[in-house]
Chain A
Amino acid sequence: MAIYSTNEFKGGLKIMLDNDPCAIIENEFVKPGKGQAFNRVKIRNLKTGRVIERTFKSGETLEGADVADIEMQYLYNDGEYRHFMMPDTFEQYQIDDKTVGDCRLWLKEQDICIVTLWNDAPLAVTPPNFVILAIVETDPGVRGDTSGGGGKPAKLESGAVVRVPLFVQTGEIIKVDTRTGEYVSRFKE
């Protein structure tokens, strides 16, 4: 694998740190006019999702991590594993719940997700930014309310619970932003 020096650390670069695959978020060059140069680097551990801040002497190197983000289609859940497929090669990956993480709350069969592979093994799954899901359970709304104010919880077919406006009813299909977990709109085909 390639070796990267601190001046090559750019947002998105995948490197190995303490034996874990990590992604560089931000790299700030800190150098007094007279004195030692450092790089203060914000790093996301791709296994745990935790963000940490580390300092390196300028010129230090880290090994690159063989990490790739691949678009895959979610197929089905067999109770133990969730199955994903690469649309062009039909190659399939089975991924356990721990790796799928919170993403499982947004998964709908046939949606395209990003699967992060490390040395060809699944590391994480990222849902699409927007998903279209049906409401399976929510309290009946108050008649006449058409605003977005207030709101009530609604359970979606994938398992997530989001706040929706009072006028949205069970059985309706809505668009949700998975990055914030917020209701966007009712969905009309």
Chain B
Amino acid sequence: MKSSVANSVWQPSCDRDGLRLRAQLLAVTRDFFASRLVLEVETPALAPATGTDPQLAFFATQYRAGAEQQTLFLQTSPEFAMKRLLAAGSGDIYQISKAFRNGEVGRFHNPEFTLLEWYRVGFDLSQLMDEVADLIACWFAPYRALLPTERISYSEVFKRYTGLDALCFDLEAYSAYAFSQHLTDAIRLCGQEHSVWLDFLFSHQVQPQLGAHCLTMVYGYPACQASLAQLNQQDARVAERVELFMQGIELGNGFFELTDADEQERRFEYEQQVRQQQDLPLVAQDAKFLAALQSGLPACAGIAIGLDRVLMLLVEKESIDDVLSFSHHRI
């Protein structure tokens, strides 16, 4: 007993400065939104439904009260609940909350992490991108000067670093490129799936180059990676989705939000099919969220940013563990 106590590392993963700077980051963030009259909200971390994205593994838990039993899921993001608030007429809202993703551990991942998510009613994607740039500038001002923000479309940045057309899947060209770059694993892993090819090539060849000394915003994702974004009105091959990168690290993901309940339901059903094919656990689609969309989600843009990674960049740490009070390895 004595030795097991002596061997267990009880100390925090980050130093005292880490604690203090996190508090400062939260304070600056709350000031930023207060000054713009965006309302801070809280939504449940536990709910009977959650996202169906096959790429996200959730935590399930059991609620028990006498004979009453219910499976509740720790939320992978507060998106559905916040959209229900928007549909109910909340106006502009933001939330700083924990999000939970099962099995995600690494230098940039912790299964429980802090997410800043906000929605702006009446904003389009480009107005939201302006606000993101303001907020990031606000965060970095006390630390260091950044070069001007870079905005580039997905297909342009993909072409720049791979020479390939992201919007038109040409297996032969993609394979030849992977071969030339000694990335032959791609051929085995991606097969005929355009979206997996994009994920592979983007994460290996494009992302590490992004945002060396500035914030880089990549917008206009291929439609097969639309997630919960609307498709572009002029070009249906492109989704109104934006991702943020600094020093090759993905910081956030935003959408001009899909408001069409039928289209949302189709995307849910497609994701459920994929879950079934891949033998992944099934989850009930969020009927209350769909009902809220049906009653009418105002046109809005929203984005979620991982605050732990922002803190990593601000204080120049190599691992997410260095900015968490107790990382996964220390809980």
Q: Within 8 Å of chain B (Cβ to Cβ): is A82?
A: no
Bound CA span A30–B189, Å: 14
- What is the distance, in angstroms, from B212's C-beta to the closest C-beta of chain A? 18
- With both chains docked as a complex, state the minimum distance between the C-beta of B264 and any C-beta of chain A, in angstroms: 15
Rounded to whole Å, the gap between the CB of A151 and the closest CB of chain B is 36
| B306 contact set on A, CB distance < 8 A | 33
Per the 8 Å Cβ criterion, residues 85-111 of B in contact with A are: 103-109
B50 to chain A, nearest CB (A): 15
Q: Given that A7-B105, A37-B55 are contacting pairs, would A32 and B199 also be in contact in the complex, using a CB cutoff of 8 Å?
A: yes
Write out, one digit per residue, whether chain A residues 126-165 have a CB within 8 A of any chain B CB (1) or not (0): 0000000000000000000000000000000000000000
Whether A54 contacts B203 by the Cβ 8 Å rule is no
Q: Which residues of A contact B243 (CB under 8 A)?
A: 32-33
A42 to chain B, nearest CB (A): 13
Let me know if A31 is at the binding interface, CB within 8 A.
Answer: yes
Q: Is the CB of B55 within 8 A of A55?
A: no
For the complex, give the distance between the alpha carbons of A30 and B183 in Å. 15
Is A55's CB under 8 angstroms from B227's CB?
no
Q: How many angstroms from the CA of A56 to the CA of B196 in the assembled complex?
A: 12
Q: Which of B171-214 contact A (CB under 8 A)?
A: 183, 185-186, 189, 195-196, 198-200, 202-204
A55-B189, A55-B200 are contacts. A35–B225 as well, Cβ < 8 Å?
Answer: yes
Bound CA–CA A55/B105 (angstroms): 17
Q: Mark B39-55, 1 if CB is under 8 A from A, else 0.
A: 00000000000000101
Contact of A33 among B106, B198, B253 (CB under 8 A): B253
A179 within 8 A of B: no
Query: At the interface, yes or no: B321 with Cβ under 8 Å from chain A?
Result: no
A55 and B183: CB pair below 8 A?
A: yes
Given A54-B185, A55-B204, A57-B189, A36:B199 Cβ within 8 A: yes
Point out the residue from A30, A33, A36, A58 that lies within 8 Å of B196, measured CB to CB. A36
> B107: which of A7, A28, A57 is its contact (CB, 8 Å)?
A28
A29, CB-defined interface residue at 8 Å: yes
* Interface membership of B308, Cβ < 8 A: no
> Could you tell me if B203 and A32 are in contact, using CB atoms closer than 8 angstroms?
yes
Closest to A55 in B: B185
| Cβ contact within 8 Å between A31 and B109 | yes
Q: Mark A35-59, 1 if CB is under 8 A from B, else 0.
A: 1111010000000000000111110
A132 to B132: give the CA distance in the assembly, Å.
62
What chain A residues lie within 8 Å of B106 (beta carbons)?
Answer: 28-31
Chain B residues, Cβ within 8 Å of A55: 183, 185-186, 189, 200, 204
Interface residues of B in 225-245 (CB under 8 A from A): 225, 227, 243
The chain B residue sitting closest to A41, CB to CB, is B185
* Selected contact of A36 from candidates B55, B103, B108, CB within 8 Å: B55
Residue of A nearest to B221 (CB): A34
B128 to chain A, nearest CB (A): 16
- Which partner residue on chain B sits nearest A34 by CB separation? B227
B-contacting residues, A1-42, CB 8 Å = 7, 28-38, 40
Is B322 at the interface (CB under 8 A from chain A)? no
Contact of B199 among A35, A54, A56 (CB under 8 A): A35
Query: Which B residues touch A35, using CB under 8 A?
Result: 55, 195, 198-199, 203, 225
Contact A36 B104 (CB under 8 A): no
Residue B257, interface by CB 8 Å: no
Q: Which residues of B contact A34 (CB under 8 A)?
A: 53, 55, 225, 227, 253
In the complex, what distance in Å separates the CA atom of A84 from the CA atom of B55? 51
> What residues of chain B lie closer than 8 Å to A36, measured between beta carbons?
55, 195-196, 199-200
Q: Are A29 and B104 in contact (CB under 8 A)?
A: yes
- Tell me the smallest distance from the CB of B52 to a CB of chain A, in Å: 12
**B183 cross-chain contacts in A, Cβ below 8 A:** 55
* Across-interface contacts of B199 in A (CB, < 8 A): 32, 35-36, 38
Instruction: Give every chain B residue within 8 A of A28 (Cβ-Cβ).
Output: 106-107
Residue of B nearest to A60 (CB): B189
B200 touches A29 (CB 8 A): no
Distance from A50 Cβ to chain B, minimum over Cβ atoms (Å)? 13
**Closest 10 CB pairs between A and B?**
A29-B106, A36-B199, A35-B199, A55-B185, A33-B253, A34-B227, A30-B203, A36-B196, A57-B189, A54-B185
Chain B residues with a Cβ under 8 A of chain A? 53, 55, 103-109, 183, 185-186, 189, 195-196, 198-200, 202-204, 225, 227, 243, 250, 252-253, 304, 306
Q: List 6 A-B contacts (CB under 8 A).
A: A29-B109, A32-B199, A34-B55, A38-B200, A54-B185, A55-B183
Besides A33-B243, A36-B196, A55-B189, 20 other A-B contacts (C-beta < 8 A):
A7-B103, A29-B106, A29-B108, A30-B106, A30-B204, A31-B106, A32-B199, A32-B243, A33-B306, A34-B55, A35-B195, A35-B198, A35-B199, A35-B203, A36-B55, A36-B195, A37-B55, A38-B199, A55-B186, A56-B189
